[in-house]
Amino acid sequence: MVTTHPTAAHDFLNDPKRAAWHDQTLWMVRAKRDRMAATVPEWEQLRETAARIKDHTLSRLSEYLEQFSARAEANGIQVHWAADAEEHNRIVHGILQRHGVRRLVKSKSMLTEECHLNPHLEAHGIEVVDSDLGERIVQFKKEPPSHIVMPAIHLKRAEVGEVFHEHLGTPAGLDDAQALTEAARQHLRGHFLGADAALTGVNFAIAETGGFVVCTNEGNADMGAHLAPVHIACMGIEKLIPKAEHLGVFLRLLARSATGQPSTVFSSHFLKPRPGQEMHVVLVDNGRSRQLGRADYRRSLACIRCAACFNTCPVYRRSGGHSYSYFIAGPIGSILAPNVDRQAHADMPFASTLCGSCTAVCPVKIDIHAQLLKWRQEVVQAGGTGRLKPLALKLTGFVLRRPRLYRLAGRLMRRFAPLAQKLGLDPWTRHRDLPEPPARSFHELMQQQRRP
Amino acid sequence: MRLGLFIPCYVDQFYPQAGLATLRLLEKLGHQVACPSAPACCGQPLANSGHAAEGEVFLDDFARAYAGFDRVIAPSASCLLHLKEGLEARGHELAHRLHELCEFLHDVEQVQSLDAVFPHRVGLHAGCHGLRGLGLGRPSECMVADFSKPARLLQMVQGLELVPLDRPDECCGFGGSFAVFESDVSVAMGRDRVDDHVRHGAEFITGTDLSCLMHLGGLLARSNPHVKVRHIAEILAGEP
C-alpha cells in the first residue's frame, strides 16, 4: 500500500504543536521574503525579466547547451552528457575511479538526490560526505531532505543535538545553535582537508562564458572545490542562462525569494580549473527534454529551486516535505513529479487547494497552480484516482445538468443534512458543521415570486 | 443595463439569502435583473477534480443561457473565475461581460456610497480565486500598491469596522473536493484562519465566496459559535 499524501499529512498533523511550529517557521521565511522583496522597487519587473530570459533560453536550449559546452571545453573544463540518472552516476563514478577517489565531499545538489548518486557511490566503496549543514544532518539520520533549500527544516534544534551526540560525540542534550554549528564546522573541516574529490551542484551555467555559479550560505562548495584536486559539477540541462549579464537578474531574485536574504553569502563563479586541478561538468537530461516537449508543462523547467513556493504553500507548511512522494516536495515538486512517473506520484497534483500563492510568489513566474490543474486531468485520464471518485464526480455532473433531478436532489440534500450532521461519518461533518439548511432554495423562492 | 444573475448550485441550495441580497443590491442600482434557473453549476467541481472534459458542457449551457445579457453577475468569485477562464480559452466574448459582484460594484458601477449599516467588527476573508484569479485586491506576494475592492466597499458601510489580520490572504483550505479528500490539511488550514479572525476580535467573517465561508462557518460553529459568517452581498445590501 502506497502512503498517499492525505494519510501522510494526517500523521504529520497528529502532533498539532509540532505541525504549528513547522507552519510558523516556514511562514516566517515567507514573511522575510516579503520584506526583502519590498525593498526592491523593480521587483515585479525583475520577475518578468527573469521569466522571459528563461523562456528564451528554453526555446533555444540545444543551441545554448552546445555553446556552453564548447566554451567550457575551451576553458579547460571536461564536459560530459548524461541522458539519465544511471548514466550520470556512471560518469561520476568513472571520474572518481580514474583518480582512485575514496573520499568525496559534496555541496548541495538536488540533482544528485534525484539520481540517487550517494547510494550508488557508497555501493562502490566511496565515502560520500554531504557538506551542507542541513544535508549532513539528514544524511546522518538517513532521511531524504524535506525541503530543497533547508533540508532539515523539519527537525528542531534539540533533535539536531541528539543526532550530533550520536554521530559526532557532542554532549547529550546540547541545544545551543552556536555550539552545534561549531561541532559541525570542526567535523566538516576534517572532511574538506581529507577529500580526494569535490562535487558541487550548479545554480546557473552561462552559455557565453562556459562558466558556472554555485550559491551557498556556508561556503562549503568553495571549501570542497578549492581544496580537492578534482571538482565535478553536476547540473540539469535547464540551469543554463545565455549571458553573464543575466546573472544579476537571477542572483537578485534567488536569495530574496528563498530565504529573504539580499544575497546568498557565497555566490561562487567557476570558469576554469586552477593549475593542477581537474574540473568536470556533467550535463544531465533525465526526463527534462520530455518535459520540454510538453507545451503545458515546459515552463516548469524555468525553476531556479528557490523553494519560495514551498514556504508560501499552506498545504506544504501543514503536511511537511516527507508527506510528498517525490524528493522535491511542495508545489514545484508536484508539477515535476508526474513527468517522472505519473502513477507513482498520482496524488501530488491533488495536494493543493489551487490557491495560486505559489504562482504569485514564483520569481520566474511559473504558472504552478495552472499546471497542477492540468496534471489532475492527466492523472484522471490514466485512471490514477481509482474507481469510486470518478464515479461520484460523474454522478454529480449528471445530476447538476438536469434541472428537475437537481431540484429534487437539492431538496433531499437539505432534508438529510441535519441527519448527516448528527451522524458525523463523512470527512466534512467529522470536523465541521453543515450550514443550517433553508426551507427553500433561491430558485424556489424566485419561482414563488413568479420571477423569470 | 440588462443583467443576468448567476446563482451557483451551493448558494442556491444553502444560502438563498445571499442570492436575494445580491438581487436587491443590483435592483437598487436601477438594473433589470433576470435569474435563469439553469445551468445550476459552473462545472468547476468536475474540472478541479481532473474531469474538465465532462465539465465543458456546463460552459456550453452557461454561454447559451446568459449570452443575451449585457453583463452577468455572480456572488461567487471562484465559480465566476472558472466560467471566465473557460470562456476565455474558447475565445468567447461573453468572458469579458462576466463580473463578480464586488468587481461589478467597484469597477463598472463605480459605487461611491452605500445605504447600509452594520455596526460590527468584521474580518474580511480574501478568497484566493477572487484575489489572485480575478484581481479583486493585491495578493501579499505581489510588490505593487496595496488595494482591495471588497474592503473599499465594506468601508462604505456605516458602523462597520474591519479587523486587521496576521495573514491577510492565506487560503482557508476549502479547495473544493480538497476539503473532503484532504480533510485533515483542509481543517488545519481552516482552524488557523478562524483563529486569526477570532484573535483580532471579529464578530463576523465575510467574503466574496460562500464556499470558503461554508468551511470557515462550519468550523466556527464548533469552536466559536458566537462568531458568524456572512456573504459580503448581505452586508453591502444593508441586511441586518
The C-alpha atoms of residue A448 and residue A88 are separated, in whole angstroms, by 72
Of the candidates A376, A442, A446, which has its C-beta nearest B50's C-beta? A376
Q: Which of B170, B163, B78, B152 is nearest to B124 (CA)?
A: B163
pLDDT at A320 over 90: yes
On whether the CB atoms of residues A149 and A305 are closer than 8 A, the answer is yes
Q: How does strand A211-216 pair with strand A204-206?
A: antiparallel
As a whole number, the mean pLDDT across chain A is 96
pLDDT score, position A14: 97
Of B85, B108, B131, which residue sits at a domain end?
Answer: B108
pLDDT at A452 over 60: no
pLDDT digits (tens, 9 = 90+) for A117-152: 999 999 999 999 999 999 999 999 999 999 999 999
Question: DSSP letters of A37-70?
Answer: HHT-TTHHHHHHHHHHHHHHHHHTHHHHHHHHHH
Clarify whether residues B66 and B164 are in a common domain: no
Domain boundaries, chain A: 5-12+301-381, 40-286, 391-448
Asked whether residue B14 is assigned to any structural domain, the reply reads yes
Average pLDDT on A306-331 reads: 98
User: H-helix or E-strand containing B231?
Assistant: strand B228-231
- H runs (alpha helix) in A323-441: 330-340, 357-361, 368-381, 388-400, 403-423
B39 upstream amide cis, omega within 30 of 0: yes
Clarify whether residues B158 and B212 are in a common domain: yes
Per CATH, A5-12+301-381 and A40-286 having the same topology is answered: no
Q: Which of B83, B205, B193, B87 is nearest to A23 (CA)?
A: B193
Asked if the A5-12+301-381 domain carries CATH number 1.10.1060.10, the reply is: yes
Clarify whether residues B149 and B99 are in a common domain: no
Q: Read off the pLDDT band of A114 (50, 70, 90).
A: very high
Asked whether residue B75 is assigned to any structural domain, the reply reads yes
Clarify whether residues B103 and B137 are in a common domain: no
- Chains A, B: CB contacts within 8 A come to 203
**Count of beta carbons in the 10 Å neighbourhood of residue A195:** 25
* Cross-chain residue pair B183–A427, CB shorter than 8 Å: yes
Percent above pLDDT 70 for chain A: 99
In sequence order, what are the beta bridge partners of A284? A82, A236
pLDDT digits (tens, 9 = 90+) for A31-50: 999 999 999 999 999 999 99
Asked whether residue B116 is assigned to any structural domain, the reply reads no
On whether the CB atoms of residues B126 and B150 are closer than 8 A, the answer is yes
Question: Domain A40-286 - what CATH class?
Answer: alpha beta
Of B76, B108, B140, which residue sits at a domain end?
Answer: B108
Clarify whether residues B104 and B155 are in a common domain: no
Clarify whether residues B128 and B232 are in a common domain: yes
Of B56, B80, B108, which residue sits at a domain end?
Answer: B108
pLDDT score, position B157: 98
Greatest pairwise CA separation for chain A in angstroms? 91
* Cross-chain residue pair B39–A401, CB shorter than 8 Å: yes
Measured between CA atoms, how close is A412 to chain B, in angstroms? 11
Q: Read off the pLDDT band of A315 (50, 70, 90).
A: very high
Chain B's closest residue to A318, CA to CA, is B185
Percent above pLDDT 90 for chain A: 94
Q: Read off the pLDDT band of A1 (50, 70, 90).
A: very low
C-alpha cell at A224: 570542497
Question: DSSP letters of A167-179?
Answer: HH-PPTT---HHH
Clarify whether residues B133 and B228 are in a common domain: yes
pLDDT score, position A449: 84
Asked whether residue B113 is assigned to any structural domain, the reply reads no
pLDDT digits (tens, 9 = 90+) for A339-381: 999 999 999 999 999 999 999 999 999 999 999 999 999 999 9
pLDDT at A194 over 50: yes
What string of pLDDT tens digits covers the 240 residues of chain B? 899 999 999 999 999 999 999 999 999 999 999 999 899 999 999 999 999 999 999 999 999 999 999 999 999 999 999 999 999 999 999 999 999 999 999 999 999 999 999 999 999 999 999 999 999 999 999 999 999 999 999 999 999 999 999 999 999 999 999 999 999 999 999 999 999 999 999 999 999 999 999 999 999 999 999 999 999 999 999 977
In chain B, which residues have their Cβ closer than 8 Å to the Cβ of A356?
Answer: 128-129, 132-133, 139
In sequence order, what are the beta bridge partners of B3? B33, B71
pLDDT digits (tens, 9 = 90+) for B27-62: 999 999 999 989 999 999 999 999 999 999 999 999
Clarify whether residues B190 and B130 are in a common domain: yes
Number of domains chain B contains: 2
Clarify whether residues B68 and B35 are in a common domain: yes
Asked whether residue B115 is assigned to any structural domain, the reply reads no
Q: Which of A350, A408, A414 is nearest to A377 (CA)?
A: A350
Helix axes A5-13, B183-199, angle to 10 degrees: 40
* Cross-chain residue pair B12–A445, CB shorter than 8 Å: no
Q: For residue B100, what are the domain limits?
A: 2-108
C-alpha cell at A249: 537578474
Clarify whether residues B125 and B231 are in a common domain: yes
Asked whether residue B150 is assigned to any structural domain, the reply reads yes
* Cross-chain residue pair B14–A435, CB shorter than 8 Å: yes
Clarify whether residues B23 and B90 are in a common domain: yes
C-alpha cell at A223: 571549501
**For the complex shown, is ipTM > 0.90?**
yes
Measured between CA atoms, how close is B234 to chain A, in angstroms? 14
The C-alpha atoms of residue A191 and residue A188 are separated, in whole angstroms, by 5
Dihedral over Cα of A66, A67, A71, A74: its sign: positive
Torsion region of B6: left, alpha or beta (phi above 0 gives left; psi -120 to 50 gives alpha): beta
Of the candidates A9, A394, A432, which has its C-beta nearest B54's C-beta? A394
What is the CATH classification number for the domain harbouring B227? 3.40.50
Average pLDDT on A266-275 reads: 97
Distance of CA A442 to the CA centre of its chain: 45
Chain A's closest residue to B188, CA to CA, is A318
Asked whether residue B101 is assigned to any structural domain, the reply reads yes
Clarify whether residues B6 and B53 are in a common domain: yes
